[in-house]
């Protein structure tokens, strides 16, 4: 018996492995959401003869089988180990940089979409030429921390695009708050997350400081704020590449007095969604992530003058979420809108007077966002 087993070892192992995993895979119920990958997993597709003929059903079914495969998270980690063993310094579109920094692997950006979006901004400046409008385009981590990218990799040149667009906005009569110098000056500090595509709260602060200076309003120094750290943050880059050698980030949030927080007409207890700090996507804690219209009344405005209400409107993407709280030190009311969830703002702009309309996008979003056109009536 044992001799037989030794002779056919491979056969037994092969069918054993295939059989056990096939059976377990069939029996284990399917998952809806993957914490590790921070995305919803494919669900069992509905069979249709039409889908079969057009091969849509077969494709969906294969996605479903892959997504729901038994011990998927373990297999993903194993692949990551394999990639590192092969000396690979990238996985699934994420580059492994120095000092455990992960970067988005970007050699090209959608120049057409960038053109379209800057065109919308220019039109916005024309439509609302009577209002004070400021633009900041935020460079992504690989543009500022370029020295941490591996040798020979030609990343897309974000800084030239930002420069060009800054010039165009100035030419169209708008104001520009260029935060690139501030970010470059502090590039040796912890201004971008290692495992996530966002900037850290420190990076957001640098932008706040630059913005306040560009408007000529008073601002609070970071050293005077009460900061709290949340550890073990593994962000979007980690979720994509799952490198087993990743070093988690720590998120710092600041205790800033908000008198009231209204999101899409509903009252919320504060600036931060504490639940998210317990989950994988910790960045989503900032101002309850991306929503249509967020209105915050400040209780800490340093510049407050009696009988006056200073207001700022921030048209933003998710980078703005960690930026907006700082504005409470400089304005009485902060309106934050995300054009992916708010269909239009012309009513808001007609009804409410803002000291400044601040358009704040990171360049990666700006190159992909198809909702910027909504800022125009």
> What residues numbered 335-374 form the site for other proteins, per CB under 8 A?
none
Rounded to a whole number of angstroms, the minimum distance from the CB of residue 7 to other proteins is 7
Least distance CB 118 / other proteins (angstroms)? 24
What does the alpha-carbon distance between residue 281 and residue 278 come to, in Å, rounded to a whole number? Answer: 9
d(Cα 349, Cα 331) in Å, to the nearest integer? 17
Residues 6+ apart with CB under 8 A from 194: 99, 100, 101, 102, 237, 246, 247, 249
Q: Which stretch binds other proteins (CB under 8 A): 61-69, 172-180, 262-270, 357-365?
A: 61-69
Phi, psi of 128 (to 5 degrees): -120, 50
User: Which pairing describes strands 133-138 and 356-362: parallel, antiparallel, or unpaired?
Assistant: parallel
264 token code pair: 């899409």
Least Å distance between CB 106 and other proteins? 12
CB of residue 102 vs other proteins: minimum separation in angstroms? 15
Which of 10, 27, 343, 351 touches other proteins by CB under 8 A? 10
In sequence order, what are the beta bridge partners of 33?
40
CB of 40 to other proteins, least distance (A): 17
Backbone φ, ψ for residue 60 (5° rounding): -65, -40
d(CA 362, CA 341) in angstroms, rounded, equals 17
**Residue 148: CB minimum distance to other proteins, A:** 13
18 versus 353: smaller Cβ distance to other proteins: 18
Identify which of 231, 214, 241 has the alpha carbon closest to the alpha carbon of residue 95.
Answer: 241
Q: Can you tell me which of 30, 111, 126, 150 binds other proteins, judged by CB under 8 A?
A: 150
Given the complex with other proteins, which of 106 and 172 has the nearer CB atom?
106
CA pair distance 277, 288, nearest whole angstrom: 11
Asked whether position 104 contacts other proteins by CB under 8 A, the answer is no
Counting contacts by CB under 8 A, is residue 17 touching other proteins?
yes
- Where along the sequence are the contacts to other proteins (CB under 8 A)? 6-11, 13-15, 17-19, 21-22, 25, 52-53, 55, 58, 61-62, 65-66, 69, 72, 75-76, 78-80, 82, 86-90, 92-93, 107-108, 150-154, 242
């Amino acid at each position: 018996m044992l001799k037989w087993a030794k002779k056919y070892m491979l056969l037994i192992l092969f069918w054993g492995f295939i059989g056990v995993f096939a059976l377990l895979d069939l029996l284990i119920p399917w998952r809806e959401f993957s914490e590790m990958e921070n995305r919803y997993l494919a669900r069992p597709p509905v069979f249709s003869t039409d889908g079969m003929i057009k091969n849509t059903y077969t494709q969906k079914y294969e996605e479903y089988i892959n997504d729901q495969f038994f011990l998927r998270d373990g297999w993903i980690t194993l692949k990551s180990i394999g990639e590192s063993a092969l000396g690979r310094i990238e996985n699934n579109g994420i580059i492994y940089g120095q000092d455990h920094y992960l970067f988005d692997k970007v050699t090209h950006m959608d120049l057409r979409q960038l053109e379209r979006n800057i065109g919308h901004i220019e039109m916005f400046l024309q439509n609302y030429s009577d209002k004070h409008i400021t633009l900041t385009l935020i460079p992504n981590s690989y543009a500022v921390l370029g020295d941490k990218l591996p040798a020979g990799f030609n990343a897309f040149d974000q800084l030239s695009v930002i420069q060009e667009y800054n010039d165009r906005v100035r030419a169209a009569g708008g104001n520009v708050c260029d935060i690139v110098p501030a970010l470059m000056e502090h590039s040796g500090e912890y201004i971008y997350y290692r495992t996530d595509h966002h900037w850290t709260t420190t990076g957001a602060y640098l932008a706040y400081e630059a913005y306040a200076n560009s408007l000529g309003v008073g601002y609070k120094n970071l050293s005077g704020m009460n900061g709290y750290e949340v550890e073990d943050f593994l962000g979007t880059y980690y979720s994509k590449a799952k490198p087993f050698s990743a070093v988690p980030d720590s998120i710092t949030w600041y205790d800033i007095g908000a008198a009231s927080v209204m999101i899409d007409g509903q009252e919320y207890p504060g600036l931060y969604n504490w639940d998210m700090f317990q989950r994988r996507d910790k960045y989503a804690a900032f101002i309850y992530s991306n929503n249509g219209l967020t209105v915050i009344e400040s209780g800490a405005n340093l510049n407050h003058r009696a009988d006056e209400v200073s207001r700022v409107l921030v048209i933003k993407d998710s980078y703005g979420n960690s930026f907006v709280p700082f504005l409470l030190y400089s304005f009485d009311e902060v309106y934050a809108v995300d054009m992916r969830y708010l269909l239009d703002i012309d009513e808001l702009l007609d009804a409410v007077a803002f000291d400044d309309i601040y358009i704040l996008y990171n360049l990666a979003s700006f190159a992909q966002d198809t909702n910027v056109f909504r800022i125009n009536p």
